[in-house]
Structure 1
Amino acid sequence: MKVVIVLAICALTAVAAVPIPEDQRVNGENGWYIPKVDGSSYWVSTEEGEQMLADLEKKEEMEGRILPVPVTFYLYTNKNPSKGQKITETAKSINNSDFDANNPTRFVIHGWTQSYTAGMNKDIRAAWLGRGKYNVIIVDWARARSVEYASSVVAVPKAGQKVASMINYLVEKHGMSLETTEVIGHSLGAHVAGFAGKNTKNGLLHAIVGLDPALPLFSYNKPNKRLNSNDAQYVESIQTNGGGLGFLKPIGKGAFYPNGGKSQPGCPLDVTGACSHARSCAYYAESVARDDFPSMRCGDYQEAVKDKCGSSYSGVKMGAVTNAYMVAGDFYVPVHSSAPYGFGA
């Protein structure tokens, strides 16, 4: 009898180990296409991907470092719009900076392979400072530059906790209000923003904006391990490479699907999805500066993906500062192939 049981277990293991045929692979459903720094990708099943992450987490713990996750913060204001002030959780650092708790604060978090000098940070920073008096804090998390994507994924929760620590410090010691604080993150940075929101004290962030939140090695059915709509009072997602580098299913309380959310006009031969993935940042910066992305309300995200939401504008604009008070649901957003991308008023 024992032999039969052992053989049965072996048979089940063998079945589980059978590779999923290419035509049956659904990114984010039964596995993921994991990006590589050269722009290519490789497939792992859900089981393989989850085991990969578990092994990396265990390795870091066994090596005793719990691998360092350095996070650095650079403050920009209207007094220093182009040269960031490096700030730390000390009274001396904040008091000697141009931080002003009377002004709203925006944290901006880059994605995989990037740094605080990335173009998205400059564009979003300039857009907010162009609106008036803000504290714009650009986050640099060094583990985003790990050669292996999975290593960066493992660092996301700790990076988010460090962002939350700075937020909590500024609230408790320097009078920053959570009601006027928003965190904006692109790709992996969107999930860092989610973990920042999960770890704030004394209430929830006013808003989080996820710019094409990263899909590889994240599961829709495990919201506590990714950005989700409960991580702030309002969470907005701008989804531009859904089913590729980003999620297709709605992530935010307000989920916006420019051009249907899978690919973007003006991104020809976008085999890797990188152009469409990055376009979320350009759209957001433009939305802050121009408030020019009208949308159509959809019954669900499938209607948004198929552009089956009718032709009547909803009165809701993607990226609008008032969305936190009035928006919920899925929206289709028409866009142009070049800037300005929005369809205007």
Structure 2
Amino acid sequence: MERIERPRRLRKDGVRELVSETEVRATDLVAPVFVDATTDERVPIESMPGHERVPVEEAVARVEEVLETGVEAVMLFGIPESKNERGSRAWAEDGVVQEATRRVTEATDAYVITDVCLCEYTEHGHCGVLEPHAHEAAELTVENDETLPLLGSVAVSHAKAGADMVAPSGMMDGMVDAIRGALDDAGHADVPILSYAAKYESAFYGPFRDAADGAPAFGDRRHYQMDPANRREAGREVRLDVEEGADVLMVKPALPYLDIVADVRREFDRPVAAYNVSGEYAMLHAAAEKGWLDLEATARESVLSIKRAGADLVVTYFAELLAESED
């Protein structure tokens, strides 16, 4: 008698959970936290329902809220009290992320990852030092090599404040090498680097730029962030970061780039992170508010797909919702 394959046998309650291949745990998730030096009260982020900018004085309380859900790691983003052409508040000892990091690491057991970039700190909103006359140029260019030592200074200032990990996100060529050298020279050889190794110039970042006040004042970032059309290029970008000493490799955004997550997982022997970005978060919220989708179910399925593609950890604005629903 010919045997018929019946995969449905393993889909029954009781055995279904035993043979499940992928899971989303609270300890897989990183919750972004926005700390704002310009306010003394929590400010809701309209395009990201459920999220707020919090003043420095509320940073510990906000992180404790995250920890209560079972999520153990946070990523800190800062909105500084002032900005200038070079973004010097990004590496100031009394800067917003530095002060928040000190408070959070002293008061909690959270694993603190800090964003290392200049876009929130520059008047022009770009991720580095602009070439002369960039405002009038037909093609805006960030001065890559002039930006690198500044990123090193930012990373060292974060490590000195107590950051457990630093996460450079500017997509500058050589940024991992510059930061690794700066950290090692400053006595922080044990601080790992989570590199945004494949970060695309994406339309899904809009709500984040509202949240972090980091939108470009003019131009765009297509000359230093990756072209969404390119897959093979991602391998080259990631390989360079591995060679320079990156400890964790980030793909951003996540959902439209699951092929890139899978490629990085397959090709590189490093932990893989993926950023479930603000636009991915906002579109599910908008559909749920219309009654078209179930928010928790679609959020879980989305993050599950990111894990299934190969991500070891996921930075997501759904972190608390998913961790709470896990219980």
User: Does TM, scored on the shorter chain, surpass 0.5?
Assistant: no
Query: Higher relative contact order by CA 8 Å / sep ≥ 6: 1 or 2?
Result: 2
Q: Under a length normalisation based on structure 2, what TM-score does the superposition of the two structures give?
A: 0.36
Q: Under a length normalisation based on structure 1, what TM-score does the superposition of the two structures give?
A: 0.34
Say which structure is richer in helix.
Answer: 2
